[in-house]
Structures are given as C-alpha cells and as structure tokens.
C-alpha cells in the first residue's frame, strides 16, 4: 500500500472528547472515524487490524471443533418473546416494519441458535455442537463512551455450544476458556479470568476476562494472597463480627437531625458497623410493568453498601428504582428513620406486607442501632431475630478494598478493569423456555444444555492500543499489525527513491505486507507518522545509506537502529520475525 494513495489522513491533534488513549490514537492514526456517538467507520488501516483479530479468533475456535457460520441481525420479535427477553433486555433495539411486524436488531444470538437447535437437533447423535460467527451487533447503549470500548454498533465473535447434559457442558467449558486465553495472548493482551454475574444472559455461571486498567468501566475484586477474583457484582467476602455475648434491651432514644448512618453512629457513640442501614426500592418483576411491582425494603449493616445487581438477583431478576417517600410512608416506615421493627413483614414476594431483604451481615453482629420509624428517634439494642423479622437473607452487600477473602481470609482489593470477553454456562435457560430438546438413548426427550461465549473485536482492538503505545503513538503487536513493514525514503536524491521503489516490490514478493510512504514530505513528518501508525518494522532508505549499500532498520518497540546491507534485508527481516 502506498501511503500517498491511502484513504484518509493522519491527524496531529486528538478530538477534544477523546479521553481514552486508544480513542485518541486510533483516530489520529487514521484507523477509525466516528459517524455518531458509539458508531464508527473502520478505515482501511483499522479494517486490516480487525481482519487479523478475526483470523486469530477463527483459528482458535476451529481448533476446538467450532464451525463458523453467518446468522442474521434482524430477528423476529417472536423468538425473543419465546425466551422472555423481549421486554427485559434494556439495550435491545427494536424496529417495526410494514404489516406491523416487529423485529429486534441483534445484540446477541442466543435466540437464533436456540431456534436453529429446535430445527436441526433431534437426537443425542446430533450432539455435541459448537458454532460461532463474527458479525455486527447493536445495543441501545444509553451513554456510548470510551471510543471503541462502549459502542452502539460493534463487531463480536460469539460462539454457542450445545450439549446433552450439564456434565458435558462442564467438560467442554474449560476448552473454551483456554481458547480465550490463547486468543488474548496471541493479540498481546494478558487477561485475568474472574467470576461474574450472568446478567441479562441468564444461566448458571459466567466468567469475565478482564484487563486491569485505571480507566476501566468495570470494578473487580481480587485477593491479595490467593487467586480469588470476581466482578464486584458477584464478589463474595467475609462479614466480620459475631453475635454479642449479652443482648441489650431494645430502647428508643432521641436522635435529632440524624438522618444518615454517620450522623446516627456519631450521636449515639457506636461504630457504623453497629448500625443497620435501610434502603427502599420499587421492584418490578421481569416482563411486568411498574404498576405490577412492589416496595422492597433492604437491610445491610451500616458499614457496608448494597449492590443493586446482587439485590436484583436475590429477588430473581427484574428491575429497581429508588422508592418515593410516599411509597415508603405507605408501608408504615419513615424515611431517614426506618427499620423493620414494627412492620408487617411479608413471608414471600407474592404475599401481602412489606418484603424485607436483608444482607447476611445483620447476623454478624448485634445490639444494633436502627431507625424507630418515628422522626427524630432510633432504637438501640436491636437484634435479629429477637426484635424484627425479615422475608429473606442473602448476599446483597458490595465487596470492597479491605474486606476479607472468602477463600483464604486475607484482604481483598477493588480494582478497575476493562472487560475483554465473557463466557456463560447458560444451561437450560433458553432450551427450557422454548422446549428445545433431543431424544436420548432411550428415546426420551431431554433439554439441550447451552453455553455462550463472546469477545468484541473492536473493543479488543482498543484494548490492544491501551496496552501497546508510547508518547509517540501505537505499537502494534506483530500478530495484529495492519502491515509488517513501514518502508520510507528520505532526502531529495533520486537514488533513495528508486531503491525504495525496488524494495517495495521485492519485500512484497518475499511475502511481507508493506506500507510504503512514498509521499514528498520531510523526514520528520514521515518519522512522526511511522511512530503514530505503529507498524512493527520501519525500513528507512536514505541517500547516504544507499551509497554504502545499506538501509536503516528499526523495531517500533525499540530505540536501537541497525544498518542492514540491502542484499541481506529480506533475510534479516525473516530471521528477526521468527525469533
């Protein structure tokens, strides 16, 4: 490729709204161009990188028995309604066509694969299967950000496994996890696999592959001693504390102008860990409208915070919003001074009363200070279950730095990270909803067990740049670089240009992918663009070197320059590339 003919130009300044270094460099180096928030065009350089990543993914999927296919992006509403996700996936883009027909624009393809399984799988002899495709996806992200890290239109490799049993799924799953590690390693991206919440995908368990990064949009918890790591939405931790040897009597005390946990604890003279925090939500079950929801009262020890995802999962899914003061008062509680004491507690979600969901931390302590459901008053000496009831106890608290690891008891840390990929054990989540079955050896119908596995190609491209750059530009790993050699000539003489022209041909004939800067530009401009674009090898042809029968060779990730005889250049590059 001749740089003089390249579509698009490099830029000296980054866009003002580009905060991530990958966003800045990919635009400056002419790899991508924004069309709208979260929607990008891949310029020729960028598309070459995407194709390199695509090839790596295909090779690793094929190596574990994957079959590449191509699935549609326009999905009839019926297949999403069948799995119950038409109304529950908040980022689902929907369109209405002629004849009042509704479609989803694919954010993922579980529904399509389930529909295919219904049609194509009849017997245990048809299993196991693993299919995958690499295609565009669409999500109605409320706030696209981070350049290629949070998009409304993106490219994903998604794979799906179909198995006869949970045991068969469990046996296959590690092969996919290893394939993911292989993909990331080949792309120059070291990742950590962590336990994660299954979210809108549903299923049994999942693992995220994350890259620690100070500007990452995710938070994960990692033990400082053992290998325990989990997304903050799934992280467990030890609730320190124990029941007191002697339970104090329940007493009402005046706490004027004390509406926060910190205020109450300071006024009464106890640590925040000896208080219980009350939080109120309006919960709407999955697939229902808000009017069909109900108030849910959350309890957590005062030194902890509620994690909304854990809270929703404990309720079996759905959505939350903060309850209004009127809704709280209608339940008999007083905002700022609320507790479960004296409330009519519902025994189940489908029963009348106030549903009280408490964190396990209320059992790790006692003699708590809690609201008295009366403005200006709290109770001291509150103990569960002596003084109040709850509907359910679950892990709803957020793990954070300083808490103790559930496996080894050492401190854990909260770290920022970028999600690079995700693997899900879906189990029978989708097959049960659609009755996707196969006939076993005895002719009996059995549900198909599924797995789902995704990596965003454009997101991975951005992560690579986040990890591989310097103050001058991108430093592409060899495996995904758009070209292998950046050839340029400097100086005003004809010999350097003629030699560069000859090398351009001979390097390509030798199998190298070459970007040839044949522009009439200064050496400084050419060197700056070479560093910005970040191709692994730079070969500079100058008049002085040509006179000596040599060219200058430099690795983008190294400072040293080497003068290589012209007749040894191809051998030198082949040898260096293989070491």
Residue 532 maps to which CATH number?
3.40.50.800
pLDDT of residue 578: 77
The domain containing residue 557 runs over which residues? 483-577
> What does DSSP say about strands 67-68 and 129-138: parallel, antiparallel, or unpaired?
parallel
Do residue 25 and residue 114 come from a single domain? yes
**CB of 491 closer than 8 Å to CB of 521:** no
How far is the C-alpha of 216 from the C-alpha of 108, rounded, in Å? 23
Expressed in angstroms, the distance from the first to the final Cα of the chain is 26
Q: Where are the alpha helices (DSSP H) in 11-85?
A: 21-28, 44-63, 77-82
- Locate the DSSP E strands across 336-441: 355-359, 368-374, 377-382, 392-394, 412-427, 437-439
Which pTM does this prediction carry?
0.91
Give the residue from 579, 576, 474, 489 showing the smallest Cα distance to 535: 474
Do residue 284 and residue 346 come from a single domain? yes
- Please indicate, yes or no, if residue 162 is contained in any of the structural domains: yes
Do residue 214 and residue 328 come from a single domain? no
How far is the C-alpha of 45 from the C-alpha of 26, rounded, in Å? 10
Do residue 33 and residue 111 come from a single domain? yes
φ, ψ of residue 84 to 5 degrees: the values are 80, 10
How far is the C-alpha of 369 from the C-alpha of 378, rounded, in Å? 7
- Please indicate, yes or no, if residue 4 is contained in any of the structural domains: no
**CB of 475 closer than 8 Å to CB of 556:** yes
Task: Write down the residue that tokens 């005390």 correspond to.
Answer: 253
Q: Where are the alpha helices (DSSP H) in 73-109?
A: 77-82
Residue 70, SS3? coil
How far is the C-alpha of 462 from the C-alpha of 21, rounded, in Å? 9
**CB of 61 closer than 8 Å to CB of 131:** no
Q: What is the dihedral of CA 148, 154, 155, 158, to 10 degrees?
A: 110
- Please indicate, yes or no, if residue 456 is contained in any of the structural domains: yes
**CB of 369 closer than 8 Å to CB of 268:** yes
Do residue 293 and residue 269 come from a single domain? yes
**CB of 490 closer than 8 Å to CB of 523:** yes
- Please indicate, yes or no, if residue 57 is contained in any of the structural domains: yes
Residue 106, SS3? coil
Q: pLDDT tens-digit profile of 275-302?
A: 999 999 999 998 788 999 999 999 999 9
**pLDDT by position in tens, the chain (length 579):** 999 999 999 999 988 889 999 999 999 999 999 999 999 999 999 999 999 999 999 999 999 999 999 999 999 999 999 999 998 888 999 999 999 999 999 999 999 999 999 999 999 999 999 999 999 999 999 888 899 999 999 999 999 999 999 999 999 999 999 999 999 999 999 999 998 887 766 677 889 999 999 999 899 999 999 999 999 999 999 999 989 999 999 999 999 989 799 999 999 999 999 999 999 999 999 878 899 999 999 999 999 999 999 999 999 888 899 999 999 999 999 999 999 999 999 999 999 999 999 999 999 999 999 999 999 999 999 999 999 999 999 999 999 999 999 999 999 999 999 999 999 999 999 999 999 999 999 999 999 999 999 999 999 999 999 999 999 999 999 999 999 999 999 988 899 999 999 999 999 999 999 999 999 999 999 999 999 999 999 999 999 999 999 999 999 999 999 999 999 999 999 998 777
How far is the C-alpha of 468 from the C-alpha of 259, rounded, in Å? 49
Angle at 205 between CA 464 and CA 187, to 5 degrees: 15
Do residue 445 and residue 515 come from a single domain? no
DSSP 8-state code for residue 362: G
Show which of 364, 394, 424 is a domain's final residue. Answer: 394
CATH of the domain at 260: 3.90.960.10
In this structure, the number of other CB atoms found within 10 A of the CB of residue 189 comes to: 21
What is the domain count for the chain?
A: 3
Do residue 276 and residue 206 come from a single domain? no
**CB of 338 closer than 8 Å to CB of 373:** yes
- Please indicate, yes or no, if residue 244 is contained in any of the structural domains: no
Do residue 208 and residue 264 come from a single domain? no
pLDDT of residue 202: 66
Q: Where are the alpha helices (DSSP H) in 121-186?
A: 166-186
Do residue 149 and residue 209 come from a single domain? yes
Beta-carbon contacts of residue 423 (< 8 Å; ≥ 6 apart): 173, 176, 177, 180, 206, 207, 209, 451, 452, 453
Beta-carbon contacts of residue 572 (< 8 Å; ≥ 6 apart): 553, 564
**CB of 193 closer than 8 Å to CB of 207:** yes
- Please indicate, yes or no, if residue 521 is contained in any of the structural domains: yes
pLDDT of residue 201: 64
Give the residue from 520, 539, 528, 536 showing the smallest Cα distance to 11: 528
Do residue 260 and residue 226 come from a single domain? no
Distances (CA, A) of 136 to 92, 108, 110, 146, 294: 14, 9, 15, 19, 38
How far is the C-alpha of 121 from the C-alpha of 272, rounded, in Å? 57
Do residue 375 and residue 272 come from a single domain? yes
Distances (CA, A) of 447 to 80, 131, 427, 444, 451: 19, 18, 9, 10, 13
Q: How far is C-alpha 136 from the chain's CA centre?
A: 17
How far is the C-alpha of 378 from the C-alpha of 268, rounded, in Å? 9
- Please indicate, yes or no, if residue 408 is contained in any of the structural domains: no
Give the residue from 83, 164, 180, 86 showing the smallest Cα distance to 450: 164
CATH of the domain at 58: 3.30.930.10
pLDDT of residue 138: 97
Do residue 133 and residue 65 come from a single domain? yes
- Please indicate, yes or no, if residue 542 is contained in any of the structural domains: yes
């Amino acid at each position: 490729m001749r740089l003089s003919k390249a579509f698009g130009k490099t830029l000296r300044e980054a866009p003002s709204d580009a905060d991530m270094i990958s966003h800045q460099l990919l635009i400056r180096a002419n790899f991508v161009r924004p069309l709208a928030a979260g929607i990008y065009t891949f310029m020729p350089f960028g598309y070459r990188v995407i194709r390199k990543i695509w090839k790596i993914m295909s090779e690793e999927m094929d190596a574990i028995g994957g079959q590449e296919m191509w699935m549609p992006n326009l999905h009839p509403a019926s297949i999403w309604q069948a799995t119950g996700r038409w109304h529950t996936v908040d980022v689902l883009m929907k369109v209405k066509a002629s004849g009042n027909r509704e479609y989803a624009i694919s954010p993922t393809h579980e529904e399509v694969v389930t529909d295919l399984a219904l049609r194509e799988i009849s017997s245990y002899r048809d299993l196991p299967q693993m299919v995958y495709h690499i295609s565009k996806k669409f999500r109605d992200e409320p706030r696209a950000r981070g350049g290629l890290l949070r998009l409304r239109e993106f490219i994903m490799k998604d794979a799906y496994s179909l198995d006869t049993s949970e045991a068969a799924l469990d046996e296959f799953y590690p092969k996919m996890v290893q394939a993911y590690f292989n993909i990331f390693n080949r792309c120059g991206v070291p990742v950590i696999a962590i336990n994660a919440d299954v979210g809108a995908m549903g299923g049994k368990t999942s693992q995220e592959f994350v890259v620690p990064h100070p500007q990452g949009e995710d938070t994960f918890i990692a033990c400082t001693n053992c290998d325990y790591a989990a997304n903050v939405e799934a992280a467990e931790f030890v609730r320190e504390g124990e029941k007191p040897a002697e339970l104090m009597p329940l007493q009402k005390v005046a706490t004027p102008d004390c509406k926060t946990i910190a205020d109450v604890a300071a006024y009464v003279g106890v640590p925040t860990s000896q208080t219980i925090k009350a939080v109120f939500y309006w919960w709407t079950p999955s697939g229902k409208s808000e009017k069909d929801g109900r108030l849910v009262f959350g309890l957590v020890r005062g030194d902890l915070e509620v994690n909304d995802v854990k809270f929703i999962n404990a309720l079996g899914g759905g959505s939350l919003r903060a309850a209004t003061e009127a809704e709280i008062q209608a339940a008999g509680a007083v905002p700022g001074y609320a507790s479960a004491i004296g409330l009519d507690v519902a025994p189940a979600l489908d029963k009348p009363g106030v549903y009280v969901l408490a964190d396990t931390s209320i059992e790790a302590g006692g003699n708590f200070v809690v609201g008295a459901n009366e403005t200006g008053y709290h109770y001291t000496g509150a103990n569960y279950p002596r003084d109040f009831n709850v509907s359910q106890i679950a892990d709803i608290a957020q793990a954070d730095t300083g808490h103790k690891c559930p496996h080894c008891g050492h401190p854990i840390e909260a770290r920022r990270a970028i999600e690079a990929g995700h693997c899900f054990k879906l189990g029978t989540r989708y097959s049960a909803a659609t009755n996707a079955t196969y006939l076993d050896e005895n002719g009996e119908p059995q549900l198909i067990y599924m797995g789902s596995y995704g990596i965003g190609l454009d997101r991975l491209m951005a992560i690579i740049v986040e990890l591989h750059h310097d103050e001058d530009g991108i430093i592409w790993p060899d495996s995904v670089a758009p070209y292998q050699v950046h050839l340029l000539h400097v100086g005003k003489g004809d010999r350097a240009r003629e030699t560069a022209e000859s090398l351009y041909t001979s390097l390509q004939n030798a199998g190298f992918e070459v970007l040839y800067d044949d522009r009439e530009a200064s050496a400084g401009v050419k060197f700056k663009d070479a560093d910005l674009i970040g191709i692994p090898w730079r070969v500079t042809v100058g008049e002085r070197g040509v006179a000596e029968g040599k060219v200058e060779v430099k690795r983008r990730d190294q400072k040293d320059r080497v003068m290589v005889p012209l007749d040894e250049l191809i051998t030198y590059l082949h040898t260096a590339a293989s070491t």
